[in-house]
Structure 1
Amino acid sequence: MNTQTKASTAARATSDGTLGLGSVLAGSLPRGLATPEAPSRYTVEAVFTRRPQRREILSIIGDETRALLGSYGYDMVRLAVSDRRLEIHNTSLEELRDGLSTRIADRLAAIGDETRAYEDAAALRSLDAAEDERIRAGKVADLAASITFSVSAQRTSVSVARATSDDAPAEAWANEGGHAPAA
Structure 2
Amino acid sequence: MTVDTPASSRTRTPSPATPADGSSPSADLGLSSVLTGSLPPTLGTPGAPERYQVDAVFRRRPLPEEVDAIMSAEPHDALPAAGYPGVTLRVADRRLEIGNSNLEELENGLATVLADLLAGISGRVRQAQSAAFDRAAAAADIEHTRAEDVIQRAGRIAFDPTPASD
TM-score clears 0.5: yes
Aligned length: 144
What residue in structure 2 maps to residue 71 of structure 1? 81
> What does residue 84 of structure 1 align with?
94
Q: Which runs of 5+ in 2 are unaligned?
A: 1-22
Question: How many angstroms does 1:126 deviate by?
Answer: 1.1
Q: CA deviation at 1:17?
A: 2.3
Alignment-derived partner of residue 101 in structure 1: 111
Query: How far apart in 2 are the matches of 1:125 and 1:16?
Result: 19
Q: Report what 2:128 is aligned to.
A: 118
What whole-Å deviation, never above 9, does each CA across 1:52-77 have from its counterpart, x for those lacking one?
01110011121011000110111100
Asked if 1:34 corresponds to 2:44, the answer is yes
What do the CA deviations read for 1:102-151 (whole angstroms, capped 9, x no partner)? 00000000001101100100110111011011101100001100100011
- Structure 2 partner of 1:46: 56
| Aligned partner (choices 62, 66, 70) of residue 56 of structure 1 | 66
Once superposed, what is the RMSD of the aligned Cα atoms?
Answer: 1.5
Partners of 1:20 and 1:14 in 2: CA distance:
12
Pair member with larger Rg: 1
The list of structure 1 runs, each at least 4 consecutive aligned residues, that deviate by more than 6 angstroms after superposition, is none
Q: Distance in 1 between matches of 2:115 and 2:57?
A: 12
| 8 Å Cα contact 2:71/2:89 also seen in 1 | yes
Supply the distance in 1 between the matched residues of 2:80 and 2:63 (Cα, whole angstroms): 24
Task: Look up the equivalent residue of 1:25 and give its one-letter code.
Answer: L
**TM-score of the aligned structures, taking structure 2 as reference length:** 0.83
* 1:136 to 2:146 alignment: yes
8 A Cα contact 2:52 2:99, kept in partner: yes
CA distance in 2, matches of 1:14, 1:59: 19
Q: Which residue of 1 aligns with 2:7?
A: none
The one-letter code of the counterpart of 2:140 is: A
Correspondence for 2:18: none
- On the 8 A contact 2:26/2:126 being kept in 1, the answer is no
Q: Distance in 2 between matches of 1:16 and 1:32?
A: 39
CA distance in 2, matches of 1:28, 1:80: 15
1:179 match = none
Bigger RCO (CA 8 Å, 6+ sep): 2
2:73 partner letter? D
CA distance in 1, matches of 2:25, 2:125: 16
